[in-house]
Amino acid sequence: MPINKTQTNKTGAALVLVVTLFFLWALTSNLLPTLIPHLKKACQLDDLQSAFIDSAYWIAYFVMAIPAALVMRKYSYKTGIICGLIIAAIGAACFYPAAEIRQFSVFLGALFLMASGMTFLETAANPYITILGNPETSSQRLNFAQAFNGLGAFVSAFFLNKIILSGIDYTPEQLHAMPAATLNNYLSSEAHRVQMPYLIIAGVLLLVAVLFYATKLPPVPEEKTTSFKIDFTVFKHKHFSNGVIAQFFYVGAQVCISSFFIRYTKYTSGMTEASITDAHYLGYMLLCFMIGRYVGTFLMTKIKPQHLLTLYSALNILLLAYCVFVGKGFGLYAMMAVEFFMSIMFPTIFALGIKDLGSQTKIASSFMVMSIVGGALIPLALGYISRNINIQVAYIVPLVCFIVVFYFGLKGYKISKTHVELSDNAIKMEVANNNE
């Protein structure tokens, strides 16, 4: 039932608060490309070890998606959101002791906690904002809220990364030649640079949690059940299983592209960390992603989603081939173009993968979200190749990922006869159950 007109003020306050959640999870996830080169330096890591920064963050989406849904189902959206904000704030605060003792494992634990909280927020915010207000304008509200993802990415890339990255870069030979005390002071000063930004983030998260607690949100119809059934028969639908695979590889590619961008640029262009940061290349890269999303949305009014997905993935394969086999010259700009073309892939794969699943749509959506775990696993392959060869060659990993996406857009999205038969059987069973 839509919210009553007398609740307009409550709805407006709720909308403002929920929109802040879209900003907050984009802010934290888009700090990962900054953290990877920074902690690599502060904790003296190789490329494979630094890839675990992505793993610690994105694995939380796989582990916590169902627990978050259970909390929301048993209690309310509001409870789930407050829990998520508190968990994420604890994770952000843990960066302070992690920097004090300069222990990489503690940093990873802090990232996992932050991402666990963000999983709660993402699980709640997307459906909740569609309920707040007129059902006919739900998609407009969601698109408006999604625009704040871009704002969060902008703040991360253009401001917070400059606070965290010092721009001081020593060669391994220079570090080896330093006296032990000087080296320790340098590494400690680098590690301490994350403390203030993450304490501020923790404070903001707690403030938003308090605001949610103090705000009387409008009542919404919430489905509460005592059981939660995981139905694996949904994987019998070939277009869905293909979609889960494509999403797994897409998210892995997206994380690889963004997270190792600074490392790739330093290697292929010879630029320093300071010059890359001062030129805002990472910020412009994420800006390309945001612009690409709006352009792609417009193009889909003229071109079928699967055709645009196929075209964009083919272009990314060609661009990454240039980045891997040539690299120098236009490699930096080719990488930005990749970011533009991959902008429409997650929602497009999602929509095509769960198409026409009927009563199994909800569980299918849960499995599709869990495929985000690709962002935790695939960067490890890139890190391994980079450690043993170099970062430029390692970008063959996202290239292979886009080949999988290309196949899904070309053929994998098609609904098979088996799916139609399964759907017909499901309808017959539902009719039979209703007649009993």
**What does pLDDT average to over the chain?**
85
CA 136 from centroid of its chain's CA atoms: 28
152-206 residue pLDDT tens: 877 887 788 888 988 888 888 898 899 999 999 999 999 999 999 999 999 999 9
118-167 residue pLDDT tens: 988 887 876 677 667 676 655 556 656 766 777 787 788 778 888 898 88
Per-residue pLDDT band for 7 (boundaries 50, 70, 90) equals: low
Delimit the domains of the chain by residue range.
Answer: 9-218, 229-429
Predicted pLDDT of residue 298: 85
Domains 9-218 and 229-429 agree in fold: yes
CATH superfamily of 9-218: MFS general substrate transporter like domains (1.20.1250.20)
58-100 residue pLDDT tens: 999 899 988 888 887 788 888 889 999 999 999 999 999 999 9
pLDDT of 266 above 50: yes
Greater confidence (79 vs 417) lies with 79
Predicted pLDDT of residue 229: 64
Give the tokens for residue 436.
């009993």
Fold assignment, 229-429: Growth Hormone; Chain: A; (1.20.1250)
295-339 residue pLDDT tens: 887 888 889 999 999 999 999 999 999 999 998 878 899 999 999
Exposure pattern of 93-114 as b/e (b: 16+ CB <10 Å)? bbbbebbeebebebbbebbbbb
Q: How far is CA 87 from CA 52, 176, 327, 366, in A?
A: 20, 39, 41, 21
